[in-house]
Amino acid sequence: MPSTAPSLGLIEVFAKVAERGGFTAAARELGVSKATASKQVAELEAQLGVRLFNRSTRSLALTEAGAQALKRAQRILEEADGLCEDAATARQSPRGRLRVAAPLTFGLDYLAPLLPDFLTRYPDLSLDLALDDRRVDLVSDGYDLAVRISELADSSLVARQLAPVRLVPVAAPAFWDAHGRPQRPNDLAALPSFLYLNAAMGDMWRFTHPSGERASVRGQRRLAVNNGAAERPALLAGLGVALLPDMIVWRDVMAGALEIALPDWTSPPLTLHVLTDGRDPPRKVRVFQELMSEAFGGGRAPWLALWRAHEAA
């Protein structure tokens, strides 16, 4: 084996000489002299310790070792070209129109504050952001990317998981003082409840205890909305209890304006995902994925502060 790997330049000269069948044509295409090309092939042979060409005054032919080396050299050069193309693409500013769908509350509270920096960073990109709690069809509705907070069914879409989202039963402390703090999920059944109409669970709230015990409960329907954040004012006013994502209520809980009930019970977990159609999306989609990962991946989701504070208490 050679003590050092041959340089890419020597490999390129060798491959060009082999492909053009001679030093003169290869040197002309490479923009070097015939003597330089010959010297560099000889240098490569010395480094590899094998003869790559059988030379005569009239012909030049690959040896058996040279034919094998040519196959490897061509693969190396193709990989190097691909690396250069990828780097060039990465340097290019994404451009065009990017269509993104996201839940309403998440979009207003968490995405909108990121947009000034995103638009400044990518001046050639235009963004259409559709905020709606209904589940869009990425392909038929013409979106490049969708943000979802759910557990995903099997799908042809490619999902990138960013952060956990927990459903928690919450009410104002004054509400719990007036009605009593529940000890078990069934204690919620007699309470005025606020329902999120788009939830897959409908008006049935489901809980699991660490012991494995499960419970399902339906409260006294007092308010039903198709956006979870719309429940918040009535919650803060002490008018009922709701089962809501921590990303909506975490600030109120940390401030003491809302209180989580049944801390030993959990509801089916959700996850913040970014969905795309295909595993090799265009650069304009990738930069938005990167934006989401930087803001919410790796434990950086703001609402996780609630659980870190809870664990530290």
**Per-residue pLDDT tens for 287-306?**
999 999 999 999 999 999 99
**42-94: pLDDT as tens digits:** 998 888 889 998 887 777 889 999 889 888 988 888 888 777 666 555 556 78
Q: What is the reported pLDDT for 119?
A: 94
Cα separation, 65 vs 74, in Å, equals: 14
**2 domain residue, yes or no:** no
117: its two tokens: 């920096």
- Answer yes or no: do 86 and 18 share one domain: yes
Residues 52 and 101 both lie in one domain:
no
Q: What per-residue confidence (pLDDT) applies to 82?
A: 74
Taking the C-alpha atoms of residue 68 and residue 63, their distance in angstroms, rounded to an integer, is 9
Domain count, the chain: 3
pLDDT at 83: 74
Work out the angle between the directed axes of helices 23-30 and 8-20 (0-180°, nearest 10): 130
Domain contains 12: yes
Mean pLDDT in residue range 189-196: 94
- Residue at 177 is within a domain: yes
**pLDDT reported for residue 311:** 83
Return the pLDDT at 254.
96
Domain membership flag for residue 283: yes
Cross-strand bridge partners of residue 270: 165
DSSP string across 246-310: HHHHHHHHHHTSSEE--TT-BPPPEEEEEEESSSS--HHHHHHHHHHHHHHTTTT-TTHHHHHHH
| pLDDT score, position 238 | 97
Question: 84 is in which domain, residue-wise?
Answer: 8-91
- Is the same domain home to 160 and 111? yes
Q: 242 is written with which tokens? A: 């709701």
Structure confidence at residue 84 (pLDDT): 67
Residue by residue, DSSP assigns 22-34 as SHHHHHHHHTS-H
Task: Output the pLDDT for position 81.
Answer: 78
Q: Report pLDDT for 86.
A: 62
Cβ–Cβ under 8 Å, residues 195 and 224: yes
CA distances (Å), 201 to each of 74, 117, 167, 226, 252, in order?
57, 37, 12, 13, 24
Residue 1 lies in a domain: no
> Rounded to an integer, what distance in angstroms lies between the CA atom of residue 99 and that of residue 86?
24
Determine, yes or no, domain membership for 196. Answer: yes
Q: What is the mean pLDDT of residues 159-181?
A: 95
Whether 18 maps to a domain, the answer reads: yes
At position 87, the amino acid (one-letter code) is: A
Query: Would the pLDDT of 126 be above 70?
Result: yes
Same domain, 114 and 161: yes
Both 171 and 151 in a single domain? no
Same domain for 161 and 185, yes or no, is no
- Checking if the pLDDT of 155 tops 70, the result is no
Share of the chain above pLDDT 90, in %: 54
Q: Quick one: average pLDDT of 193-208? A: 84
Average pLDDT, the chain: 89
Band of residue 239 on the pLDDT scale cut at 50, 70, 90: very high
Domain boundary among 26, 59, 91: 91
Task: State whether 232 and 158 are in the same domain.
Answer: no
- CATH number for the domain spanning 186: value is 3.40.190.10
Q: What is the pLDDT of residue 88?
A: 57
CATH number of the CATH domain containing 73:
1.10.10.10
Residue that terminates a domain, selected from 29, 58, 91: 91
Structure tokens of 145? 């990317």
Residues 280 and 223 in one domain: no
Look at 280 and 286; give whichever has higher pLDDT.
Answer: 286
Looking at the fold, whether 286 and 153 belong to one and the same domain comes out as: yes
| Cα distances (Å, whole numbers) of residue 290 to 199, 232, 273, 287 | 28, 31, 13, 5
Q: Residue 109: what pLDDT?
A: 96
| pLDDT of 151 | 75
Q: Which residues contact 239 (CB under 8 A, 6 or more apart)?
A: 175, 192, 222, 223
Question: Does 70 share its domain with 218?
Answer: no
Task: Give the C-alpha separation, 143 to 146, whole Å.
Answer: 7
Do 205 and 153 have their domain in common?
no
Q: Which two tokens stand for residue 130?
A: 């559709």
Give the residue from 55, 70, 91 where a domain finishes. 91
Mean pLDDT of 230-250: 96
Q: Is 149 contained in some domain? A: yes
Q: Are residues 180 and 254 in the same domain?
A: yes
